[in-house]
Chain A
Amino acid sequence: MIRRLLLVLAVMLVLVPLASAAQPQFSMAEIESQLMCPTCQSRLDLSHSPAADRIRAFVEKKRLEGWTEQQVKDALVADFGPSVLAAPPASGIGLVAWVAPIALVGGGLVVAVAIVFAWRRRRHAGRAQTPADIALEARVDAALRSFDDVL
């Protein structure tokens, strides 16, 4: 009995990985939105050109064979180059596409803050106190002092 159970277990250990290897690892909708049609420069899921149809057929075939998303992408990059990926790789020249927007937004913030500071400093420096300002300041000080006395 134990020997039979061990045999079943051994068979399961061999068959389970084989079965899962052939399972699709990703959905077509998922990967199509991450790929570009090389001849029409639009996303694969939005394209129905002959080249896009061939790529779609290739992806579906490999998906059903159990390839991972990365394996499919690597195979397509080998034939079409990195431009087949909708999002550029975060390395080499592709890194520019990721870093440039962040640098631009960051740079824009630095510039905006600097402009606000410069504007405020100019406003303070350029504005001389008038006798009315001095009188108002004295009245406010006196009011605050009397308020302190009451407390």
Chain B
Amino acid sequence: MKRAVVVVVAVLLLGLGIVLARAVMQTSGARAFPAEVASGAKPPAPDFALPLLTGDGEVTLASLRGQVVVVNFWASWCDPCKDEAPILQDLWLTEAQPQGVAFVGIDTQDLSDDARAFAVTYGLTYPLVHDVGGAVGRDWGVGAFPETFIIDPQGRAVAWFPGEVTADGLRDAVAKARASS
């Protein structure tokens, strides 16, 4: 009888421990990725496969291996994202696209209808995807919007911009990522 009680208590405590550990890992481990990037450790960027915001098809990070990739997390309700959108669009058209630098805008924690309207308002023409459920944003440790990561051709995250990017800052980071390849 005593042994059965001990087993029941142990199983319950184990279950509770697993649930708590999951919750702690989801909250505390999430911001580890940007911190690693900021430290210069060049961690491998978590892969993603996300549906395009408009039309069919999806974008995977793995399919862009060999290119410098600018990954920008945004949401339509975010005010700095509105200021940043014309900067990104201009850099994409005038510099990134001609130089073979890939851009991916990941819309997360957002209504997809609002996101599509945002893309039309700001005339965004680089690939935009929708992070259904926000799982990719969590994997990448995105805590505020916007956030931008630069991925080198080997798939390593080499720069992180919390908040709105500047054209010069992004240009420099892309140039460094291209030079490191």
Contact = CB atoms under 8 A, between A and B. Distances in A.
Interface residues of B, number: 27
Nearest to A39: B109
Given A83-B133, A103-B12, A55 B111 contact: yes
Given A50-B79, A54-B76, A103-B12, A79 B5 contact: no
A24 interface: no
Contacts of B12: 103-104, 107-108
B29 to A, nearest CB: 16
Interface in A71-89: 78-83
Most buried by A among B2, B78, B109, B135: B109
A107 B8 contact: yes
Contact of A114 (B5, B77, B134): B5
29 contacts: A38-B109, A38-B134, A39-B109, A50-B77, A50-B78, A51-B75, A51-B77, A51-B109, A51-B110, A54-B77, A54-B111, A54-B114, A58-B111, A58-B114, A80-B109, A80-B133, A81-B133, A81-B135, A83-B133, A100-B19, A107-B11, A110-B5, A110-B8, A111-B8, A111-B9, A114-B1, A114-B5, A117-B1, A118-B1
Nearest to B75: A51
Interface in B109-135: 109-114, 130, 132-135
Interface of B: 1-2, 4-5, 8-9, 11-12, 15-16, 19, 75-79, 109-114, 130, 132-135
A74 B1 CA distance: 48
A81 to B, nearest CB: 3
Contacts of A100: 15-16, 19
What are the 9 closest A-B residue pairs judged by CB atoms, nearest first?
A81-B133, A50-B77, A114-B5, A107-B12, A38-B109, A54-B77, A51-B77, A79-B112, A79-B111
